Amino acid sequence: MATRDTGTEQLIKDTAKRIFFSEGKLHATTQDIADAAGVNRTLLNYYFRSRDILFEQVVLEARAEMSAIMDSIFTAELEFKDKIQQMINIFMEQAMQFPYREMYVVMEFNRTEKIVPEEKKNKIRQFLKEINAEMEKGKIKKMDPRQFLMNLFALMAYPLITNCLNKSLYNINDAEYLKLMKERKQLIFEMIYQ
Amino acid sequence: MATRDTGTEQLIKDTAKRIFFSEGKLHATTQDIADAAGVNRTLLNYYFRSRDILFEQVVLEARAEMSAIMDSIFTAELEFKDKIQQMINIFMEQAMQFPYREMYVVMEFNRTEKIVPEEKKNKIRQFLKEINAEMEKGKIKKMDPRQFLMNLFALMAYPLITNCLNKSLYNINDAEYLKLMKERKQLIFEMIYQ
DNA sequence: TTTGTGTTTAACAAAAATGTTAAACATAAT
DNA sequence: ATTATGTTTAACATTTTTGTTAAACACAAA
């Protein structure tokens, strides 16, 4: 008999991702995750052997998902302008679903000092060149292309991380926040691509 | 005899702040902090009774420090343009020293759902009006003033949080990163205040 | 010097979180 | 229906982290 696949393994991973990346509960324990998934805590050990392995796998998959999205846009056969527009659309939709995913990955990166594969760096270098070309053409404001990328990601990611605080500070509800975030797509494009 | 003040209490708090806000070690234990401070772990209990109380106090002080800076700028007797410039200068200097402080406070806010005092909200409302006025004058691009503030803070805070990752992705060292961050001050101003 | 009090330490205790095991359970194949 | 094997559970064990206590220490005042 191969495997019965009750879906439990996937359920556990999905629940962990929800708790970490959507709800932002950085200090969740294995018990927290088991409870949220509605399964016995022992099952985390059965499927993943240890807490560390589960968490590592979750981060690994998160990185892979994010990389896949970035790569598909970086290397797409599109005008630069359209790439940016698509990037904003896809990234913001993802960020609305998993506001803390990037932060979690960044923190894990700080903690473990993982190495970035040369292949990925090359793709980025290539995109930095594209940015530079667009600046030469006078389409976007001239600056260090790395600053350009930092600006773009900052504008996209940050407001979602600070979701809760912003809602309190500005007295806005979920519906209005959603509206603001959708408006941001266009707004970011205009700021970046003047 | 009142108190001998060996400076230990302050040392512990400062060390905790360094570990959390500068080094970004979100999961630091009391032992980690004691070791980093070079004191016996029991002293954390002697001075603060419990881990939770220490951590809460550290966050409380962080919020107070950040609030004080914001308030002083919000209510300063300055032209709007100069306020923004000063905001960028001070915030960026702070963020370079404590890149993860804001994030930590935001995460704690998510966790505890603290209430924002009405007085603080009023100061923000006041500043939002100032932003609006500046937009009416045609000095800055028209948009929801809340978006304006989100943009500003995003551009300032985010690249410092992602410090480590950026250095890897773009192959830059500490010195160059510092230079990039200093350049950002002017760059952010130009993006915001076109 | 002695005494009193605040500070520091080490040993111990308790609590929280994680890991292991064996038995119960469920289901596909025989 | 029985068997074999993957899945789930509960009880237990271990490890990690936090909290408590009493004694040692240090230093100013008497």
C-alpha B86/C-alpha B115 separation (Å) is 28
* Under 8 Å between Cβ of A30 and A19: no
What positions of strand D are covered by protein, i.e. any atom < 7 Å from a CB?
Answer: 4-11, 16-22, 27-29
The CATH architecture assigned to B1-49 reads Orthogonal Bundle (1.10)
Shortest distance between the Cα of B5 and any Cα of chain A, in A, equals 34
Is A161–B106 a contact, with Cβ atoms under 8 angstroms apart? yes
C-alpha B184/C-alpha B172 separation (Å) is 16
Q: Tell me: the pLDDT tens digits for B25-73? A: 999 999 999 999 999 999 999 999 999 999 999 999 999 999 999 999 9
Residues of chain B neighbouring A143 (CB-CB closer than 8 A): 187
pLDDT score at A5: 82
Q: Tell me: the pLDDT tens digits for A10-59? A: 999 999 999 999 999 999 999 999 999 999 999 999 999 999 999 999 99
* Under 8 Å between Cβ of A44 and A51: yes
**Helix residue ranges per DSSP H, chain B:** 8-17, 30-37, 42-48, 51-74, 80-97, 101-112, 118-136, 145-161, 163-169, 174-192
Cα angle for residues B184, A150, B150 (degrees, 5° grid): 80
Confidence grade of residue A124 (pLDDT, cut at 50, 70, 90): very high
C-alpha A148/C-alpha B58 separation (Å) is 35
Residue B190 CA from chain centroid, whole number: 22
Is A164–B124 a contact, with Cβ atoms under 8 angstroms apart? no
Q: Tell me: the pLDDT tens digits for A149-161? A: 999 999 999 999 9
pLDDT at A1 over 70: no
The CATH architecture assigned to A63-192 reads Orthogonal Bundle (1.10)
Tokens of A133: 């070309």
Q: Tell me: the pLDDT tens digits for A65-118? A: 999 999 999 999 999 999 999 999 999 999 999 999 999 999 999 999 888 999
pLDDT at A139 over 70: yes
* Under 8 Å between Cβ of A92 and A187: no
Q: Tell me: the pLDDT tens digits for B89-139? A: 999 999 999 999 999 999 999 999 888 999 999 999 999 999 999 999 999
Q: Looking at chain B from residue 88 to 127, which residues have their Cβ under 8 Å from any Cβ of chain A?
A: 103, 106-107, 109-111, 113, 115-116, 120-121, 124
Task: Quickly tell me which residue has 């805070």 as its tokens.
Answer: B157
C-alpha B30/C-alpha B42 separation (Å) is 9
Identify the CATH homologous superfamily for domain B61-192: Tetracycline Repressor, domain 2 (1.10.357.10)
Query: Which residue spans of chain B are classified as CATH 1.10.357.10?
Result: 61-192
Tokens of A166: 């912003």
Query: Which residue spans of chain A are classified as CATH 1.10.10?
Result: 1-49
pLDDT, mean of residues B165-190: 96
pLDDT score at A132: 97
Confidence grade of residue B16 (pLDDT, cut at 50, 70, 90): very high
- A142 → chain B, closest CA residue: B187
Task: Quickly tell me which residue has 């603080």 as its tokens.
Answer: B120
Confidence grade of residue B4 (pLDDT, cut at 50, 70, 90): confident
Query: Which residue spans of chain A are classified as CATH 1.10.357?
Result: 63-192
Q: Which residues contact B58 (CB under 8 A, 6 or more apart)?
A: B13, B16, B17, B20
pLDDT score at A2: 57
| Sign of torsion over alpha carbons A96, A152, B190, A135 | negative
Put residue A19 in one of left, alpha, beta given phi > 0 → left and psi -120 to 50 → alpha: alpha
Phi, psi dihedrals of residue A168, rounded to the nearest 5°: -70, -50
CA-closest candidate to residue B192, choices B138, B148, B132, B144? B148
pLDDT score at B2: 58
Confidence grade of residue B1 (pLDDT, cut at 50, 70, 90): very low
